[in-house]
Amino acid sequence: MGRAPSFNQHQIDKRLMELFWFSGVDSVSARDISKGTGLMLGSLYNHYGNRDDMLVAALRFYIDEVIQKRIEKYLAIKEPRFFEYLWTAVEPILESRGQHTCFLIHSRESQGYRSSIVSKEIVRGLELIREGYSAGVKNLCGSSSSIRLLVNQIFSFHLGLLIFTQTTKSKSNVKDLIRANLRAFNLEQKGTST
């Protein structure tokens, strides 16, 4: 029986996320991973299995530690504000030090659907975001038959906003776009502030 890993799993998963996200999923070499985590390749492959499993661990870290915590913080507010939630998703991109976009989007663009385990994790993260919007819309608007359509519209806007943010560095343009779309969704007065 092999000995138990003598490294901090949480820290290694975080470091894997940073390596894949900041350097690019397809650009990170095995040597980069070894150097970035401080672990020998044999230990990494022995623990994770393969590169896809390392990427899945990085995506899980991102989903559980970044997205989930952002949603929990957003929903803990008595009156969630869509503007602030959308802004927290794109502000790091505008301030980026190498981040291209949301790690889920970045991984999907880089990885495509070559790996079903990676694809499943990306879908899990996107569904979590959609569920967060659904809970927020229900908190603000109550239950109605049009909630699902509104949630889908906000979610689609969120994804488009992440892509748009890659092409601009103008905070005012992004804020104006968020405000305009919240007005179009009739959510300007419900859960928005500037």
Query: pLDDT, tens digit, for every residue of 158-192?
Result: 888 877 777 777 888 888 888 888 888 877 655 44
pLDDT for residue 143: 67
Task: Flag whether 103 is in a domain.
Answer: yes
User: What phi and psi values does residue 117 have, to the nearest 5 degrees?
Assistant: -70, -35
Nearest to 73 by CA among 135, 119, 140, 16: 135
- Kindly report the number of other CB atoms within 10 A of residue 113's CB atom: 9
Task: Flag whether 4 is in a domain.
Answer: no
pLDDT for residue 82: 79
Task: Flag whether 100 is in a domain.
Answer: yes
Task: Flag whether 90 is in a domain.
Answer: yes
pLDDT for residue 192: 44
Residue 47 CA to residue 42 CA, distance in Å, equals 8
Nearest to 9 by CA among 32, 50, 43: 43
Q: What is the domain extent for residue 124?
A: 61-184
DSSP-H helix ranges across the chain = 9-23, 30-37, 41-48, 51-61, 68-76, 82-94, 103-111, 116-141, 147-167, 171-184
pLDDT for residue 72: 87
Residue 17, C-beta contacts closer than 8 angstroms, at least 6 positions apart:
58, 59, 61, 62, 103
Helix axes 147-167, 82-94, angle to 10 degrees: 20
Task: Flag whether 194 is in a domain.
Answer: no
Task: Flag whether 17 is in a domain.
Answer: no
How far from each other are the two terminal CA atoms of the chain, in whole angstroms? Answer: 58
Q: How many domains does the chain have?
A: 1
Task: Flag whether 172 is in a domain.
Answer: yes
Task: Flag whether 43 is in a domain.
Answer: no
Residue 80 CA to residue 15 CA, distance in Å, equals 31
pLDDT for residue 44: 92
* Ranges under pLDDT 70 in the chain: 1-6, 78-80, 96-101, 111-113, 142-145, 188-194
Tokens of 117: 């385990």
